[in-house]
A and B are shown apart, each in its own frame.
Chain A
């Protein structure tokens, strides 16, 4: 079995409203030097599969069909083999 961690971020040129508000909050707490805050999400999937290449092909299809909207998001993922 494989553990897949998919990291999703808003595209760089899109304003991240949550990140902007969080940056302001950090600054109001006195943290200096905060240049930018971007908030993404992590999707974890436990997935059966033969090997890493088969799993990564399946994950790409999942991202294309549902998990990611390419108009606004970029993504990246990691696959780890885990005990059943």
Chain B
């Protein structure tokens, strides 16, 4: 089982992803430079686009990175059903590349927010949440200035209908309240997948919430779910 973590100029979360995969969940992992077309991409089981500010967030967050050569390989990989996880800026890149629908706008209150938040698992029948129970509340880290998810109404309707909304911001009891929405996202959306379920983007940082020393290990379940899915084992999902 092998993971690949992509590095763009300005990425900053790649080290955290690499560390968690290698040292916490003990799997093989490589760094992938964004200029490279990945010829052997099928030797990977999961590709991660990490957080940070690729290209300094110039033009629009994720816009320039989404045109990098590596994204061509990742699009083909995703079309064949390969698992792709976009975290924070990685989520922005997935949206800009068209692998996921919608866009992330500047936070409603303009502030860059670096804090813990809660998200509720809305769909546990995905490769990324198969070890969660439906409605489970995860306390996880977030850190972003552009996290306000937006998509036109018909897209939101489809996301709901197809079970593509994976996480919503919630309070500690799991209630979806406006007060628990840190950035003004439509319907408190914190993470979505594509229709097939193999491409997942989220504003939360599971890799910074995978060890108790960091105040939360509740993000680890996302990595455990990926491994479970790749092994053909899930606990609560299908």
Contact = CB atoms under 8 A, between A and B. Distances in A.
Interface of A: 10, 14-15, 17-18, 21, 65-67, 69, 71-72
Interface string B207-230: 000000000000000000000000
Given A14-B150, A71-B152, 17 more contacts: A10-B105, A14-B105, A15-B108, A15-B184, A17-B107, A17-B108, A17-B148, A21-B110, A65-B67, A66-B63, A67-B59, A69-B63, A71-B95, A71-B101, A71-B102, A71-B103, A72-B103
B109 A17 contact: yes
22 contacts: A10-B105, A14-B150, A17-B106, A17-B108, A17-B109, A17-B110, A17-B148, A17-B184, A18-B106, A18-B110, A21-B110, A66-B59, A67-B59, A69-B60, A69-B63, A69-B103, A71-B95, A71-B102, A71-B103, A72-B103, A72-B105, A72-B150
Contacts of B105: 10, 14-15, 17, 72
Interface residues of B, number: 21
B96 interface: yes
A67 B59 CA distance: 7
B79 interface: no
A46 to B, nearest CB: 18
A20 to B, nearest CB: 9
A4 to B, nearest CB: 16
Interface string B98-137: 0001110111111000000000000000000000000000
Interface string B145-159: 000101110000000
B170 to A, nearest CB: 22
Contacts of B102: 71
